[in-house]
Structure 1
């Protein structure tokens, strides 16, 4: 899950704990192995497109379950396919497998063995959930309707493994009808299943500004064009975009978290670089922000005798949940279900949803009494694996629920 703002701290939505989801005995029986898988994977975090050890572990576990139809994609992606005797949809279930460049601070005995890398966004839990689901399908093939495709996807944190797989033909090769994914989330109490129809997470992009001036001695500013002064004015001007160019009925974020420039205190610098992020729940709003950033930055720079080069890295799209799939999840989760507010976080699962209907939901892992309160991307992020079973239970029941009304 992409979080680009430095030190982002999402305002927590206080939710009273609902009745916990009822977990079937067959899913409860998986807990020991789910815990073991999560803790083993937690120790071997790898960055995007470098997940060799992780992929090898996943393939070994699939072999342990007797899965025979397994494919390698993009070097580190793994796909497992289950084909049922009953006709039905082809449902894909996706987990991310990459880690973050974060130093672990949990102090747990199963901490990362790769210094400076950590599963600080819960992808170890997502993989353990998927492996538990794989084991369940192997033990209960009678529950398989149509074709079930399990996708272990690299590089969610960047550069965006979902789009790489789409470009590689994943959706067409396996003829995927619908796709499902989840994310552990410390904003909701343990056992909560949270989701909403349509926009749940934001579209995001990165902004890179290079302000080019003319260097001169600080005692002779008239001989130069001050890139620092121009950069300061540009940042102030850009922050008016959300308040003055976006409807107050819409939501948008524009944040600049990095600025570099200058060589000495008495030299007017000839170049300053600014980096930031922008996010919105609407493509129209996002496009307006893009146009205004380009215009405002370049025109303000001219007023200071400088030039501003504007570059964008348009990343992920809006996580846009299919309402009928959300209804199916509500029916399964019952009283453990809550409607989440939308979050300005971004997730490359959204790239699949551009192509086919998809469902993405949160699994609550927050427990203040146990200290499970650290936000995603924190070196202290941790959780109780027991609550991963809720994800497996949702997955197994979604097979039947999403195939209702189909010819089986």
Structure 2
């Protein structure tokens, strides 16, 4: 027999699809989600929820049950990627250069769907539900901004649940598991300073590009020869910019990267390892340098008891056989910042369906999702809230 919560969610699937496609057409960059935030706020007010605005674009909807009690937080992220869409959708991005290529349009929609259903069930709730609509997940700093803005306070959130739609998992399945789940994400910037000269006489200058090549090789040596490989890390160089002209020996190179880890030891030591290598390489190539490192967001570690409660709730929706586990994911999610403060858990919601061409990776400009996942996500949000506040 189909779960009653899932049936209610399926009954509003047309409403969900309409909203998801509207959000998909209007992607906005991190902390600039003005239209998105206004649209969410208007919908929450139509549902009769209290709305708290945090910063420029963050917001929290508050639904109070029939009596006082515990408070559960349900979170969705709302920002888009700086990617030019190539899906062929009739509802493709109308904001050139930006795309909902990571499923945040679905996250917004599913949390609004949960608010819609739970607002009709508030007499069954002994406590409060807070719906957190968070900006800036793609730059890994939105959760911190929400926390600093008081999203977890007044009333204080006791437990938080989030989900991320995931293209590697078939629609109808989810991933729920305790412990280390997704890696930390820390950003660094490096400027290597040499001295420019005519390209025909590089000995009259100091070649910053040659030095940068040695630094690039040194970064990967740290991964394989300095770090304990039993604690996996990723040290990625994402940008490099140097030189002004083909016949000039460049005097400056800029690069930036992101480091990922599950281990507290590795995370704390990566900037030390990195700067020590940079300092010695630059000295060998007669260069100076500027190095900046930002501990951006921690690893996502699902709390065991909260994860068990989440699994119990979602198993009522799709059955325990459809709840899977995967290897730890080196990608990052700043949902981790909430888990640093209060118990909770993050799950992955499957949206893959090759028959519908929904088989591209997160952040692909071809990214598509099977909209049959939407009611499952809504029902999961609703069921965990009902179980927690019963």
**Could you say which TM-score interval applies, normalised by the shorter chain?**
over 0.9
Q: CA deviation at 1:34?
A: 0.9
The equivalent of 1:127 in structure 2 is 108
Q: CA deviation at 1:258?
A: 2.1
**Does structure 1 retain, via aligned residues, the 8 Å contact 2:307–2:344?**
no
Determine which of 340, 343, 358 is the counterpart of 1:357. 343
What is the alpha-carbon distance in structure 1 between the residues aligned to residue 263 and residue 3 of structure 2?
33
| TM alignment of 1:159-178, pairs within 5 A | 160-178=141-159
What is the alpha-carbon distance in structure 2 between the residues aligned to residue 75 and residue 309 of structure 1?
32
1:277-333 CA deviation, whole Å, 9 max, x = no partner?
211112211111111001100111001111122111321111111111111222232
Q: CA deviation at 1:169?
A: 2.2
1:197 aligns with 2:188: no
Cα 1:350/1:159, change in 2 over 3 Å:
closer
The equivalent of 1:45 in structure 2 is 27
What is the alpha-carbon distance in structure 1 between the residues aligned to residue 8 and residue 202 of structure 2?
75
Q: CA deviation at 1:22?
A: 8.2
Is 176-185 or 265-274 further displaced after alignment? 265-274
| TM alignment of 1:224-373, pairs within 5 A | 224-332=205-313, 333=315, 334-373=320-359
What is the alpha-carbon distance in structure 1 between the residues aligned to residue 187 and residue 117 of structure 2?
40
**Does structure 1 retain, via aligned residues, the 8 Å contact 2:180–2:262?**
yes
The equivalent of 1:222 in structure 2 is 203
1:358-401 CA deviation, whole Å, 9 max, x = no partner?
21110000111211011111121111222111112222221243
**Does structure 2 retain, via aligned residues, the 8 Å contact 1:254–1:279?**
yes
| SS of residue in 1 equivalent to 2:372 | helix
| Structure 1: runs of 5+ lacking an equivalent | 1-19
What is the alpha-carbon distance in structure 2 between the residues aligned to residue 253 and residue 21 of structure 1?
41
What is the alpha-carbon distance in structure 1 between the residues aligned to residue 238 and residue 42 of structure 2?
41
| Structure 2: runs of 5+ lacking an equivalent | none
The equivalent of 2:59 in structure 1 is 78
| SS of residue in 1 equivalent to 2:206 | coil
1:25 aligns with 2:7: yes
1:34 aligns with 2:16: yes
The equivalent of 2:134 in structure 1 is 153
What is the alpha-carbon distance in structure 1 between the residues aligned to residue 74 and residue 352 of structure 2?
24
1:121-141 CA deviation, whole Å, 9 max, x = no partner?
111100110111011012222
**Does structure 2 retain, via aligned residues, the 8 Å contact 1:21–1:191?**
no
Q: What TM-score, normalized by structure 2, do the two folds share? A: 0.93
The equivalent of 2:381 in structure 1 is 395
1:54 aligns with 2:36: yes
Cα 1:228/1:136, change in 2 over 3 Å:
same
| SS of residue in 1 equivalent to 2:260 | strand
The equivalent of 1:10 in structure 2 is none
What is the alpha-carbon distance in structure 1 between the residues aligned to residue 198 and residue 56 of structure 2?
53
Q: What TM-score, normalized by structure 1, do the two folds share? A: 0.90
Cα 1:265/1:25, change in 2 over 3 Å:
closer
| SS of residue in 1 equivalent to 2:324 | strand
What is the alpha-carbon distance in structure 1 between the residues aligned to residue 44 and residue 386 of structure 2?
23
Is 184-193 or 200-209 further displaced after alignment? 200-209
The equivalent of 2:93 in structure 1 is 112
Q: CA deviation at 1:237?
A: 1.5
Determine which of 101, 111, 116 is the counterpart of 2:82. 101
Is 27-36 or 289-298 further displaced after alignment? 27-36
Number of matched residues? 384
**Does structure 1 retain, via aligned residues, the 8 Å contact 2:132–2:151?**
no
What is the alpha-carbon distance in structure 2 between the residues aligned to residue 159 and residue 280 of structure 1?
15
Cα 1:209/1:337, change in 2 over 3 Å:
same
RMSD (CA atoms): 1.8
